[in-house]
Amino acid sequence: VMPSLELPKVRKNQFIEIISISGGCLGNCSYCKTKHARGTLNSYSEDAIVSRALQAVEEGVTEIWLTSEDTGAYGLDIGSNIAKLLLKVADSLPERVMLKLGMTNPPYMLAHIQAVAEVLKRPNVFEYLHVPVQSGSDAVLRAMVREYSVAEFRRLVDGLRAEVPEIFIGTDVICGFPAEGAEDHRFSMDLVKEYRFPMLN
């Protein structure tokens, strides 16, 4: 059972409210224990998330950050999706309060490029997204069990950049993965050079 979003919270930054929109994961990445530790996807309702956001606004917060292990998978277990949630939260916030979306893996966000881009264009939403690619090699991605290809990652990033030209897209790359050879590593470096991500972990 997920903890209630109504529980009291101590904020490290009094102006930022970080809301977990779901717990668990639908992936089975070979290097990750998140699913073993937190189970499969378990999403909070849209209303519970909006209620928490509005409560935080009443307490003086000026930024709402939506986070989870994979924000793109939000709602697949409750008949909703990340685009619907973003729209609902953005609509509910006063003009002075900004909305920011956290990390998403490529597979589930691919279905919502256009809808998410439309929300990112709003003046009260940060043009920001963190999309880990992990490798520029399809062979390594298969060994990682990442459930997407480099071409699909490109389609997501290119689609968002086409709709939101100033979007800040950060990514992650794992170097030295057990299945990675010199050519695989070169593919990753070529991808990084091509896209010039402003944030690279």
For residue 176, is pLDDT > 90? yes
The answer to whether the CB of 130 falls within 8 A of the CB of 177 is no
Farthest CA pair distance, the chain:
53
CA R_g for the chain: 17
Distance CA 140, CA 191 (A): 14
For residue 99, is pLDDT > 90? yes
Q: What is the pLDDT of residues 127-146, one digit of tens each?
A: 999 999 999 999 999 999 99
Strands 63-67 and 22-23, by their bridges, are unpaired
For residue 106, is pLDDT > 90? yes
pLDDT band at 169 (very low <50, low <70, confident <90, very high): very high
Q: What is the pLDDT of residues 50-63, one digit of tens each?
A: 999 999 999 999 99
For residue 115, is pLDDT > 90? yes
Distance CA 67, CA 189 (A): 28
Q: What is the pLDDT of residues 7-49, one digit of tens each?
A: 988 999 999 999 999 999 998 899 998 888 888 999 999 999 9
| Ordered strands of the 63-67 beta sheet | 16-20, 63-67, 98-101
Q: What is the pLDDT of residues 65-78, one digit of tens each?
A: 999 999 999 999 99
